[in-house]
Amino acid sequence: MPRLLSLTLAAFAIGVSEFVLVGLLPAIASDVHIDIATAGMLVTLYALAITVLSPLLTSWMSRYDARMMLAALMMVFTIGNLAVALSPNLAGLIAGRVAAGAAHGTVFALGAPVAASLVPKDKAARAIALMFLGLTVAMVVGVPAGTAIGTAIGWRATFALVAALGLIAALAVWALVPSTSGGQGVRLREQVALLAHRPLALTYAVTALGFGATFAVFTYLEPLLSRHAGYTPSKITGVLVLFGAATVAGNLLGGRLTDHRGAKFTIRTALIGLTISLTALLVTQNHPVAVAVNIAVWGVFAFLISPAVQTHAVDLASAYGPGAQKAASGLNIAAFNAGIAAASFTGGLALDHGDPARTPWVAIIFAVVAFAATSGIAVPRRHRSPEQSVASVGRHATRR
């Protein structure tokens, strides 16, 4: 258990860094003299850094001792957040966020298979869920606390504390995670081959669209609640605590449901609930009590999907060997953040052209398309090797 908890601590630090921006966007925008939609690009660019850089870093780092690489990545994460805390302008903020984002995706890519390897196979989904629990606990404790600290003594203090958390997590991983012998590593060629594998590609599409549905609204939740429900900053902090607690419940339930009923059932259940709760936001957003209840229900379904898609991606890649599992895990994290990037950008456009009340419409579209994509994510009867998949892609390109 302590070994798994060291990974949970790393995920917690990462979760605070990623999600605390939601409550601090107005303060950051004011401090560096930009509007909220532009400040929202810090969410988009952070997610893009994960999407683009984590597959490349996974390809290189997966051949080395996982303990060493995870500790090193958490140090990079620490330095990135410290840079954000000290940056005087938007360019510096972007540089720090990109560095932290590059570490973020690769920690989960390398850490999820490590978490699964620490327990019996029939408990793998729950082990991965325990690691991801750090993200959801960050939303319950870290994000509200970070927002409160940022409001009281400045947003820079929040990111300085996040950097300290990253350092503690690096030391915990180094002390507790068992060493591995490394291996051949995950070649980019293998990652391309996995993307050519249709059930995996559709799983990544569901991941991107499913999480995108949540972040199209969540990124701009502060202006939505303040303008429509009349929430003060302290009440918004309370709603963030409520949402975070709901995501913890959803994450843990998703791990158990995946182990007992399978990934596809869990994913579809999550997306149905997500679509209904996001649609309800169109009605409840002007009613303080109703919107709080709505947000709690939304939070459960938002993270019910998390362990299901991660476990499913790793399981699909298991026929290709441990290297492919790391690649599949990393690509799923990249898909997660591609969805966040696309959704936060699209939600920002809706915000820029009018009212934050429009953002649920963007989210509903993402969720409905994600559900449609679930028809193709069942585990196939036969797996092709990565080399066969690459060859197939090549033949298809030649025919074209």
Q: pLDDT tens-digit profile of 253-302?
A: 988 888 888 888 999 999 999 999 999 999 998 899 999 999 999 999 99
Domains, the chain, ordered by start: 2-390 (1.20.1250.20)
Q: Kindly report which listed range (127-136, 206-215, 357-366) carries the lowest average pLDDT score.
A: 127-136
Q: In angstroms, rounded to a whole number, what is the distance separating the alpha carbons of residues 241 and 176?
A: 30
pLDDT at 202: 87
pLDDT at position 380, please? 41
CB atoms within 10 A of CB 345: 21
- Does 29 score more than 70 pLDDT? yes
**Per-residue model confidence (pLDDT) at position 398:** 33
Across 45-64, average pLDDT: 82
- Considering just the CA atoms, what is the radius of gyration of the chain in Å? 20
The Cα–Cα gap between 260 and 250 comes to 15
Identity of the residue numbered 292: A
Query: Could you tell me which of 194, 198, 211, 202 has the C-alpha nearest to residue 338?
Result: 211
Rounded distance, CA 124 to CA 307, Å?
10
Q: Mean pLDDT score of the chain, rounded to an integer?
A: 82
Q: What is the pLDDT of residue 240?
A: 82
- For residue 187, the model assigns a pLDDT of 65
Tell me how far apart the alpha carbons of residues 280 and 300 are, in angstroms, rounded to a whole number.
14
The reported pLDDT for the residue numbered 320 is: 65
The label of the residue with tokens 């591609």 reads 338
Token pair, residue 14, equals 């990462």
Q: Are 237 and 144 in contact (CB under 8 A)?
A: yes
How confident is the model at residue 382, as a pLDDT?
38
Q: Residue 330: what residue type? A: G
Query: Can you give the pTM of this predicted structure?
Result: 0.72
Residues 83-128: tens digit of each pLDDT: 999 998 899 999 999 999 889 888 987 887 788 777 777 777 778 7
Most confident of 55-59, 79-83, 129-133, 396-400: 79-83
257 Cβ neighbours under 8 A, 6+ residues apart: 265, 266, 269, 304, 308
Alpha-carbon distances of 186 from 70, 161, 346, rounded to whole Å:
16, 34, 33
Whole-angstrom CA distances from 259 to 17, 107, 184, 201, 383 are 30, 23, 30, 22, 22
Side chain identity at residue 323, one-letter code: G
Question: How do residues 343-385 score in pLDDT, each as one tens digit?
Answer: 888 887 777 666 777 889 989 999 999 999 888 765 544 333 4
Residue 186, pLDDT above cutoff 80? no
Sorting pLDDT into bands at 50, 70 and 90, what band is 392? Answer: very low
| DSSP code at position 377 | -
